[in-house]
Amino acid sequence: MHSALVAEKLRKQHWKKAVITTHHKPDSDAMGSSLGLYHFLLQHIPEVQVITPTDYPDFLNWMPGNDHVLIYEGNEARANAIALEADVIFCLDFNTLSRINEFGETVRRSKAEKVLIDHHQDPEGFEDFSLWTTETSSTSELVYHFIQQQFGREAISRQSAPCLYSGILTDTGNFRHNNTRSSTHRVVADLIELGADITAIHDALYDNFREERLRLIGYTLHNKLEILDDCHTALITLNKEELKQFKVETGDTEGLVNYGLSIKGIVLAVLIIDRTKLVKMSFRSKGDFACNEFAQKHFSGGGHRNASGGQSTESLEATVARFKETIRLYREDLSRI
């Protein structure tokens, strides 16, 4: 961990222009850690710009600082210029540059020093300074520890606290996944004291959807849920027509994969969606089945042991067929849990 080195540079005001970036289709931890860090960095760096590779769900727009976020897609020239002029780029909640799409090439080319803050396995190693561990629930929790340990808890502002809380909340599945530790609850307790309004945050994240999202969930669970009994697997697929029918927007399918896991005896839940350019896959598992290794080996993906994702350039039908074939190879692993 290079926390002390990074803190030293911040204290000496070594950096004048910073960029914070995070993975494409940012989730609550990606945005929460980025904006949580943003408010803090402004105390030590004159110019700080958050750049996301793509858009993100409307239910994350409430975070303080959201109005200052620049979305790379559609603003490529401006985003590239800012990243090339920056003297430091903070890379949050991802660890391979392919996770930030074409913006990754700019980040690679930029002479800026790179600081990685992340909790996923297998970092590619593009960074100069690493604040990395898989032992923390979320990148937001890592940002909390960095600020608290190096600068004291008072350095976490009323703007940062709700952002960091939100990232921890969602990456732990509302404190139910096994990445939730007693220390996680201590951090969260502190964030509440520092200004995170938990009812407002829960309302913003979970009671803020369009009607179509609920209709989509109902339709999907009724018509599209397939159980692969011998593999203890629940599978949902969504094709392009269905995405159109329910006017699916960024964020509408978030959480859909989890329903499969709530069925007794199911240890792997899978969601396969025919997105514009790629077929996107989400995996969630229980127990020892490492769905990140499965995603990495067969579907160019990765993530955490019990929550991972991947993709395929084949058609939806071909991807589903290949998934069904491949998962059979793991039948025994899936039965043992």
Q: Which listed residue (21, 308, 312, 319) binds ligand 5GP by CB under 6 A?
A: 308
CB atoms within 10 A of CB 296: 17
Among the candidate windows 80-88, 140-148, 304-312, 318-326, which touches ligand 5GP by CB under 6 A? 304-312
Q: Which of 144, 172, 304, 319 contacts ligand 5GP by CB under 6 A?
A: 304
Whole-angstrom CA distances from 170 to 30, 31, 202, 266 are 10, 11, 10, 22
Asked if 309 touches ligand 5GP (CB under 6 A), the answer is yes
Q: 89-128: which residues touch Mn ion (CB under 5 A)?
A: 93
Which of 29, 141, 254, 274: binder of Mn ion (CB under 5 A)?
Answer: 29
Give the separation between CA 104 and CA 102, rounded to whole angstroms: 5
CA distance 37 to 118: 13
Q: Which of 162, 303, 319, 333 binds ligand 5GP (CB under 6 A)?
A: 303
Cα gap 245→82, rounded to integer Å: 39
Of 294, 310, 330, 333, the residue at the interface with ligand 5GP (CB under 6 A) is 310
Compute the chain's Rg from CA coordinates. 20
Instruction: Name the minimum Å distance from CB 102 to ligand 5GP.
Output: 15
Residue of closest CB approach to Mn ion: 29
Q: Assess 140 for contact with ligand 5GP (CB under 6 A).
A: no
Stretch that binds Mn ion, among 88-96, 99-107, 196-204, 321-329 (CB under 5 A): 88-96
User: Rule CB under 6 A: is residue 307 a binding residue for ligand 5GP?
Assistant: yes
Q: By CB under 6 A, is residue 260 in contact with ligand 5GP?
A: no
* Beta carbons of 192 and 156 less than 8 angstroms apart: no
Q: Which is nearer to Mn ion, 127 or 171 (CB)?
A: 171
Alpha helices in 136-257 (DSSP H): 139-151, 160-171, 182-193, 198-206, 211-223, 240-245
Query: Residues near 199 by Cβ (< 8 Å), separated by ≥ 6?
Result: none
Give the Cα separation of 238 and 333 in Å (integer).
Answer: 27
Q: Which residues bind ligand 5GP (CB under 6 A)?
A: 282, 301-304, 307-311
